[in-house]
A and B are shown apart, each in its own frame.
Chain A
Amino acid sequence: MPDDAVFWVLAVPAVASGAMVFRLDSMARATYALLLSLLCVGGLVIRLGLDYLGVVVILMMTIEMALMAVFMVMFMMNPAGLMPMSMLHNKRGAAAICAGVFALLAAGILLAPWPRRRGRPDDDPTMALGESLMGPHMLTMMTLGLALFTTIVATVVLATGRGRYDRFGDDLRARRPADPVRPGARR
Chain B
Amino acid sequence: MADTAPVWAVVLLPFALAAAAAVVAGFDAVLAAAAERGRSGRPLRAAPAPLHAGLRMLGQQPRRTAAGDPWLGRLGIALVPVAAVLAGAVLPWGFRAVTDPVVGVVWFNAMEVLAWAAVWLAGWGPNSALSLIGGYRFLAQGMAYELPHMFALTTAALGAESLRVGEVVAAQRGLWFAVWMPAAFAVYLLSALAMAFWGPFDHPLGRDAAGGAAAEYAGVDRLVLLAGRWLLLVVTAGFSVPLFLGGGYGPWLPAWAWTLLKTAAVLGLLVAGRRLLPALRMERYMEFAWAVLVPLTLVQALVVAVVVLGR
Quick check: B103 and A126 within 8 Å, CB to CB?
A: yes
Quick check: B69 and A55 within 8 Å, CB to CB?
A: no
In terms of DSSP, what is the predominant structure of the interface of chain A? helix
Does A97 make an interface contact (CB < 8 A)? Answer: no
Task: Give B68's nearest chain A residue, CB to CB.
Answer: A80
Residues of A within 8 A of B102 (CB): 51-52, 124, 126
- Report A26-41 CB contacts with B as 1/0, cut-off 8 Å: 1011001001000000
Task: Give B120's nearest chain A residue, CB to CB.
Answer: A66
Residues of B within 8 A of A156 (CB): none
From B69, B72, B107, B114, A62 is in contact (CB under 8 Å) with: B114
CA distance A51 to B99 in the complex (A): 14
> Contacts A126-B163, A181-B283 hold; do A70 and B72 have CB atoms under 8 A apart?
no
Quick check: B163 and A67 within 8 Å, CB to CB?
A: no
Among A29, A58, A66, the most chain B Cβ lie within 10 Å of the Cβ of: A66
Quick check: B103 and A26 within 8 Å, CB to CB?
A: no
Min distance, Cβ B210 to any Cβ of chain A, angstroms? 21
Does A82 make an interface contact (CB < 8 A)? Answer: yes
CA distance A82 to B106 in the complex (A): 38
> Contacts A28-B124, A66-B139, A184-B284 hold; do A56 and B117 have CB atoms under 8 A apart?
no
Quick check: B120 and A56 within 8 Å, CB to CB?
A: no
In terms of DSSP, what is the predominant structure of the interface of chain B? helix
CA distance A55 to B164 in the complex (A): 13
Quick check: B286 and A184 within 8 Å, CB to CB?
A: yes
Quick check: A63 and B103 within 8 Å, CB to CB?
A: no
- Of residues 104 through 129 on chain B, the ones whose CB sits less than 8 Å from some CB of chain A are 106-107, 109-110, 113-114, 116-117, 120-121, 124, 127
Quick check: A185 and B163 within 8 Å, CB to CB?
A: no
Stretch at the interface among B30-38, B40-48, B169-177, B287-295: B287-295
Task: State which size class the interface on A falls in.
Answer: 20 to 34
Does B219 make an interface contact (CB < 8 A)? Answer: no
> Contacts A32-B72, A66-B116 hold; do A184 and B136 have CB atoms under 8 A apart?
no
Residues of A within 8 A of B103 (CB): 51-52, 55, 126
Does B256 make an interface contact (CB < 8 A)? Answer: no
From B67, B72, B106, A52 is in contact (CB under 8 Å) with: B106
> Contacts A69-B120, A185-B288 hold; do A56 and B106 have CB atoms under 8 A apart?
yes
Sample 19 A-B pairs with CB under 8 A, ordered by A number: A26-B69, A28-B124, A29-B69, A32-B72, A55-B103, A55-B106, A56-B106, A59-B109, A62-B113, A62-B117, A63-B113, A63-B116, A70-B136, A80-B69, A80-B127, A81-B69, A126-B163, A182-B284, A184-B286
Task: Give the A-binding residues of B (Cβ under 8 A).
Answer: 67, 69, 71-72, 75, 101-103, 106-107, 109-110, 113-114, 116-117, 120-121, 124, 127, 136, 139, 143, 146, 163, 281, 283-288, 291-292
- 15 further interface pairs, Cβ-Cβ under 8 Å (given A32-B72, A62-B113): A28-B121, A35-B117, A51-B103, A59-B110, A59-B113, A62-B110, A62-B116, A62-B117, A69-B120, A126-B163, A181-B284, A183-B287, A184-B285, A184-B286, A185-B287
